[in-house]
Chains A and B, each alone.
Chain A
Amino acid sequence: MTLAPDVAGRLAIPSLIDEATVEAIAGEAWIALVGEDEVLVPLPGDLPEDTLSAWVDVVGPWTGSVVLTTGRQTAAELTRALLAEAAPELLDHEDVADAFGEIANVVGGNVKAALPGPSTLGLPEVGPAPAVRNPEDVCRIEVLWRGQPLVVSVQGALPSLPVPHDQHQHPHQNGASQ
C-alpha cells in the first residue's frame, strides 16, 4: 500500500484503509449485533429510489464520514432485527434512526480505530446521504443483507463543497434529521 498525500498534504482514505477491512468490520458488526447467521454477502446490488443513510463523522488526521446507505424498507427490517423481541408492532422513524444510527456508530467506531489517530467520533446522524466531496477520498463497499443492497462509504469531508452558510442545515443531534 502506498501512502499518497493529496495536494494539501492530507492522506486520502485509499492509502489508510482498504475495502477488505471495511467489509470485515461491517460483517463483524452484523454478526455480533444483528445475529450470528446475518451474513453480509460481498455482491453489488441496485439501491432502491427510497434510501436512508446513517453516518458518523471522524475528525482527526483523516476527516470524513462513515456512511451506511440502504433502502428505507431494509433499514426498517434491520431495526426489527436489532430490537428482536423488543420491537414494537409499528416502527416509527425514531426507532429506525436509533437502530440504523447505532449500527453506523459501531461500524464507524471500528473504522476510526483502524485509522491514524488521535481522532474523535461524532454522534450518529440519519437522513439523506452526505455528498461525496472528493471522489479520490472514498473507500466504498457494496454488500447484500438478506438479499437487499447496502453500501458502506468511508468518505473524506475535505475539500468542502461550496455550500453557502445560510443553506447549511445541522441534522438533529441524536440522529433523526427529518
Chain B
Amino acid sequence: MKILVADDSRVMRQIVIRTLRQAGYDDHDIVEAEDGRDAYDKVHAENPDLVLSDWNMPNMSGLECLQALRSAGSAVPFGFVTSEGSAEMRDKASAAGALFLIAKPFTEETFRENLDGVIA
C-alpha cells in the first residue's frame, strides 16, 4: 500500500510518517508532497492508496487539492491532518469528500482510530 503525505512542513511530514510507524502502519510505501499542488500532481504520478494531507499550505491548500482531485475524477481515499479541528473545518472536509480529519497535535491512538479500516 502506498500513502502520500502532504505537508509544507518537512518536520511535520517526518512526524506524520513516524506516527504512522508507531501506530503499526510500518510496512507501507510513503511518498511525500510539499504542498497541495505537489500532492495533486503526485496522486496522478504515483497513484497512492491513501492521501494524508495538511489543510493550510502555500500554492494550493489541502481542501483545494481534494476538490481538484474529485473534479478530475479521482476517488483516492483522502484524509486531513491539520492544526484546525473545529466543527466548521470538519464539515467542510466531509462535504468535499474527505474520509476523516485528524487534528494536530495527534497521537498514534488518534491515527489508529481514523486509519483502521482505511489502511488494510
| A residues lining the B interface (CB < 8 Å) | 28-29, 31-33, 79, 82-84, 86, 95, 98-99, 101-102, 105-106, 108-110, 112-113, 117-118, 121-124, 173-174
Contact = CB atoms under 8 A, between A and B. Distances in A.
Given A33-B15, A84-B18, A121 B83 contact: yes
7 contacts: A32-B107, A82-B11, A95-B11, A98-B9, A102-B11, A109-B82, A174-B8
Nearest to B84: A109
Looking at chain B's contact residues, the main secondary structure is: loop
Given A29-B105, A32-B106, A117-B88, A83 B11 contact: yes
B85 A123 contact: no
B10 interface: yes
Interface string B16-38: 00100000000000000000000
A108 B58 CA distance: 17
B11 A98 contact: yes
A83 B86 contact: no
Contact of A113 (B9, B12, B86): B86
B14 interface: yes
Given A33-B15, A99-B11, A105-B56, 16 more contacts: A28-B105, A32-B105, A32-B106, A33-B104, A83-B14, A84-B14, A95-B10, A98-B9, A98-B10, A105-B104, A106-B104, A109-B103, A113-B84, A123-B56, A124-B9, A174-B58
Contacts of B86: 112-113, 117
A178 B15 CA distance: 25
